Amino acid sequence: MNDSAGSKPKFVYVTYIRTTAEKLWRALIEPEFTRQYWAGTWQESDWKPGSSWQIMIPDGRVADAGEIIEFEPHKRLALTWRNEFKPELKAEGFSRLTYELEQQGDMVKLTLTHEAPTPESKFLDAVSSGWPAILSSLKSLLETGESLEATRKWPKGM
């Protein structure tokens, strides 16, 4: 859902996943998980506040890069995020992404908030259409052992 009440709009997406906060946390950051549901990509970082962070495309390019802001295992992860492979999106500068995890019985409420880098943001449009597919696939992976087919590989020609 896009909420444009402030000067910089943001995309907020909530999903509930039958899993533990520990397992979901690993699935959000470890390459063996992200490769399955996040278009074949993986992240590189030592996951300490202030450290650099990047998303790697299977062909060796960097998709996105930024810096870790908050790292509170199983609860909250915040980082800055700039697109690196599309010049018009890179030019918008750094967005801010936050994951919040809340264990509720045998499931976890996952809230993703992606704040746009600029008031009028093509970057936000792009991630707003991407996140529901990626997070739906993450939920399928954790609940059924299989991610959604369409999210397993980096799209040809992108």
Site residues for another protein per CB under 8 A: 1-2, 5, 13-18, 104-107, 132-133, 136-137, 139-140, 143-144, 146, 148-151
Q: What are the DSSP E strand ranges found in the chain?
A: 2-3, 10-17, 42-45, 52-56, 62-72, 76-83, 95-104, 107-115
**Complex with another protein: residue 88 or 106, whichever CB lies closer:** 106
CB of 109 to another protein, least distance (A): 8
**Complex with another protein: residue 18 or 61, whichever CB lies closer:** 18
CB of 96 to another protein, least distance (A): 20
Rounded Cα distance between 65 and 74, Å, is 22
Question: What angle separates helix 21-29 from helix 122-144, to the nearest 10 degrees?
Answer: 130
Give the containing element (helix H, strand E) for 25: helix 21-29
> Which residue, among 71, 19, 22, 15, has the nearest Cα to 43 in the 3D structure?
71
**Complex with another protein: residue 8 or 90, whichever CB lies closer:** 8
SS3 64: strand
| 141 phi/psi in degrees, rounded to 5 | -60, -45
CB of 54 to another protein, least distance (A): 26
**Complex with another protein: residue 51 or 144, whichever CB lies closer:** 144
CB of 97 to another protein, least distance (A): 18
CB of 135 to another protein, least distance (A): 9
Residue pair 74/22 in contact (Cβ under 8 Å)? The answer is yes
**Complex with another protein: residue 29 or 133, whichever CB lies closer:** 133
